[in-house]
Amino acid sequence: MSGTETKPPMKPTDVDVLIIGAGPAGAMAAAQLQRGGFKLLVVEKQTFPRFVIGESLLPHTMDLLKEVGLLEVVEKCDFMKKTGAVFMRGNQVCNFDFANQSGAGWSYTYQVPRAEFDKAVADAVQARGVDFRYGHSVAAVNFSDAHAEVALDQPDGTQRKVTARFVLDCSGYGRVLPRLLDLEAPSKYPVRESLFTHVTGDVRPPEREQGKIWVCVHPGGAWIWIIPFSNGHTSVGVVATPEFFAHFPGEPAEQLRAIVMSDPNAAARLADMQFVFPPQRIKGYACSVKKFFGPQFALAGNATEFLDPVFSSGVTLAMESGLRAAQVLTRQLQGQPVDWQTEYADHVMQGVNTFRAYVSAWYDDRLPTILFASQRNPDIMRQICSVLAGYVWDKSNPYVTQADRALGLLAKISGTMARAATD
């Protein structure tokens, strides 16, 4: 056969990119791709507003929202300003203010009820002309040389098929393509679970301290988050191993109340708390994947890897990956050469791995040793503050580039000093 083989004409595709999920990763990707003039379809299983956990943002999200022209939308929402993070263990306190970073990052961000935040962002992207279909769930995806064929379950119970040049999976905990394409990989973290709700009756600290997240280390080994919202409600949650929860028998509401009341710092603030809705539980949320992309697909946000909620990194990583995937995809669809591994996967993993070093150091006690030391080096604390603000791609910060080693050394020094002080 000659080399001039003729291929059958390509079936015209319905859309250039089909995005699964309208959470932070999907909305961010849609906002960026819309600028390239592509035909997009965002399919979302639920109807918005919908509840999802993950309410404390990091300052780096402000850069990301600004980059796609969505910051103004969020600024108008009147969310609670988050100016830092306070870690507490008994009478030990480590108070980070985002104004004290080593880099030139944003000095604040927001505490957001996700139902409102995700809807505001998605609506703004939809208003730019992007086709959003709520109540549509991706049931199957078949890839051929020319396109991907996606089967959608529609709200009326019927199924429709859509063809797309590329599928971007931003389905979060739905993990659509990891499940369908057997991309799931086990997380390296032990199983932890979380019990959470929103409450009223939170006695908040005054002024600039009001909007900070509190992370309280419970005497029994769990940790508790306290995230205040501008609507008067406060998000309260506990993260622990199943063994820890087993020490608190009863219904979830009794369990949560008993755990909160047995931590001195949380109890002082939440003594009068009333639950806004019955506490909910999520188990074994840490996840990972074998790969982030293939010839006609990529994964972003929680559909890739989720570590742990302790540093509120999830939405930041979801937005960064959604934006980055859309930037690489834009050039691919324009016919330019792209390298998904170096330009996308390696970049996302740089951020994930930096947070991973901090999560590991949190649970093996190196980070608490550093944070609750009686003497702390202010320059180093500013570098750590930049990481906690989400600037995990800043190559000038040694607490990013050599996070694990730097935290290990610092914990040793802090531990030695603490022992010397008690001798």
Ligand X SMILES: Cc1cc2nc3c(=O)[nH]c(=O)nc-3n(C[C@H](O)[C@H](O)[C@H](O)COP(=O)(O)OP(=O)(O)OC[C@H]3O[C@@H](n4cnc5c(N)ncnc54)[C@H](O)[C@@H]3O)c2cc1C
Tokens of 373: 């030391």
User: In terms of CB distance, is 26 or 411 closer to ligand X?
Assistant: 26
Residue 352 and residue 307 in contact, taking contact as beta carbons nearer than 8 Å: yes
Angle formed by the axes of helices 24-35 and 114-126, nearest 10° = 20
How far apart, in whole angstroms, are the C-alpha atoms of residue 212 and residue 283?
Answer: 26
Stretch that binds ligand X, among 5-13, 29-37, 177-185, 306-314 (CB under 6 A): 306-314
Q: Smallest Cα–Cα separation from 118: which of 79, 91, 159, 92?
A: 79
Q: What's the closest the beta carbon of residue 413 comes to ligand X, in angstroms?
A: 30
| Interface size with ligand X, residues (CB under 6 A) | 38
- Which sign does the torsion angle of CA 257, 259, 264, 269 carry? negative
> By CB under 6 A, is residue 314 in contact with ligand X?
yes
Stretch that binds ligand X, among 265-273, 315-323, 346-354, 405-413 (CB under 6 A): 315-323
Rule CB under 6 A: choose which of 83, 101, 302, 414 binds ligand X: 302
User: In terms of CB distance, is 172 or 368 closer to ligand X?
Assistant: 172
Q: What's the closest the beta carbon of residue 355 comes to ligand X, in angstroms?
A: 11
User: In terms of CB distance, is 255 or 414 closer to ligand X?
Assistant: 255
Residue type at position 157: G
Q: What's the closest the beta carbon of residue 68 comes to ligand X, in angstroms?
A: 14
Q: What's the closest the beta carbon of residue 45 comes to ligand X, in angstroms?
A: 4
Q: Pattern 383-422, binding to ligand X, x per CB under 6 A?
A: ----------------------------------------
Stretch that binds ligand X, among 261-269, 314-322, 326-334, 404-412 (CB under 6 A): 314-322
The three-point CA angle 340-346-348 to 5° equals 100
> By CB under 6 A, is residue 298 in contact with ligand X?
no
Rule CB under 6 A: choose which of 173, 244, 363, 393 binds ligand X: 173
How far apart, in whole angstroms, are the C-alpha atoms of residue 367 and residue 360?
Answer: 9
Q: Smallest Cα–Cα separation from 170: which of 111, 115, 118?
A: 118
Q: What's the closest the beta carbon of residue 350 comes to ligand X, in angstroms?
A: 17
Stretch that binds ligand X, among 20-28, 32-40, 78-86, 368-376 (CB under 6 A): 20-28
Tokens of 354: 């930096």
> By CB under 6 A, is residue 351 in contact with ligand X?
no
Cα torsion through 368, 370, 374, 376, rounded to 10: -150
- φ, ψ at 274 (rounded to 5°): -120, 135
**Cα 364 to chain centroid, rounded:** 22
How far apart, in whole angstroms, are the C-alpha atoms of residue 63 and residue 73?
Answer: 14
Q: Return the H-helix or E-strand segment holding 88.
A: strand 84-89
Q: What's the closest the beta carbon of residue 283 comes to ligand X, in angstroms?
A: 10
Q: Name residues contacting ligand X, limited to 38-77 (CB under 6 A).
A: 43-46, 52-57
Contacts with ligand X by CB under 6 A lie at 20-26, 43-46, 52-57, 137-138, 170-174, 176, 194, 237, 282, 285, 301-302, 306, 309, 312, 314-316, 318
